[in-house]
């Protein structure tokens, strides 16, 4: 995890620098008696820089102490990754990648295709690509899920769902 933590801490520092500069030059700090829109964000940006540096340093320290521990204990099977239950490896599981792609596509289709078609597409895609279910089960889960969600949002919560712009299925 050390490599990823260091990478994240550098991003954190960069974010802090951007916020501090943006707040100082664009939002303006104002005067002490009447702080401007950039006053609090500026100090938060500075805080992010300081904390990012501390994070970077402490990650290095914990890595050194962990390697010392592993040297002293031959039975330890420690690897490069320190904290975290399932550390970042740089390779993301198939389920997660397909799941993420499906949600982004769903967001893109939601207003274009309307609730019904986009939800059917999402559930169908999920069962085929993520879960790899059999066809009959896939269709049953897809139809039931779309209908249940429609009932919950439309009738119980009275939410106006987007209609299909092509077919205009009366609110569906």
Would you tell me which residues interact with another protein (CB under 8 A)? 1, 4-5, 8, 12, 19, 22, 27-28, 30-41, 44-45, 47-48, 51-52, 54-55, 58, 83-84, 86-88, 93, 95-96, 99-100, 103-104, 106-108, 110-111, 115, 119, 122-123, 126-127, 130-131, 133, 141, 145, 148-149, 152-153, 157-162
Contacts (Cβ under 8 Å, ≥6 apart) of 112: 118, 165
**What stretches of 23-93 show up as alpha helix (H) in DSSP?**
39-72
Name the token pair of 102.
């499906």
**Other C-beta atoms lying within 10 Å of the C-beta of residue 52:** 20
Nearest-approach distance from CB 8 to another protein, in angstroms: 6
Q: Which is nearer to another protein, 77 or 91 (CB)?
A: 91
> Of 80, 86, 90, nearest to 59 (Cα)?
80
Nearest-approach distance from CB 162 to another protein, in angstroms: 8
Nearest-approach distance from CB 123 to another protein, in angstroms: 6
Nearest-approach distance from CB 64 to another protein, in angstroms: 13
Contact 48, 1 (CB under 8 A): no
- State the Cα–Cα distance between residues 40 and 52, nearest whole angstrom: 18
């Amino acid at each position: 995890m050390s490599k990823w933590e260091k990478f994240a801490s550098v991003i954190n520092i960069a974010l802090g620098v951007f916020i501090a500069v943006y707040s100082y030059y664009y939002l303006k700090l104002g005067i002490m008696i009447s702080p401007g829109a950039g006053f609090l964000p500026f100090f938060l940006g500075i805080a992010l820089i300081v904390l990012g540096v501390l994070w970077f340093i402490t990650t290095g320290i914990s890595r050194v102490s962990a390697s010392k521990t592993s040297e002293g204990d031959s039975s330890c099977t420690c690897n490069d990754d320190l904290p975290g239950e399932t550390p970042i490896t740089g390779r993301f599981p198939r389920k997660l990648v397909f799941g993420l792609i499906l949600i982004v596509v769903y967001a893109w289709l939601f207003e274009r295709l309307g609730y019904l078609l986009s939800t059917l597409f999402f559930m169908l895609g999920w069962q085929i690509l993520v879960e790899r279910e059999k066809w009959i089960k896939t269709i049953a889960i897809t139809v039931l899920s779309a209908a249940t969600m429609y009932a919950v949002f439309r009738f119980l919560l009275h939410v106006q769902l987007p209609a299909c712009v092509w077919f205009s299925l009366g609110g569906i």
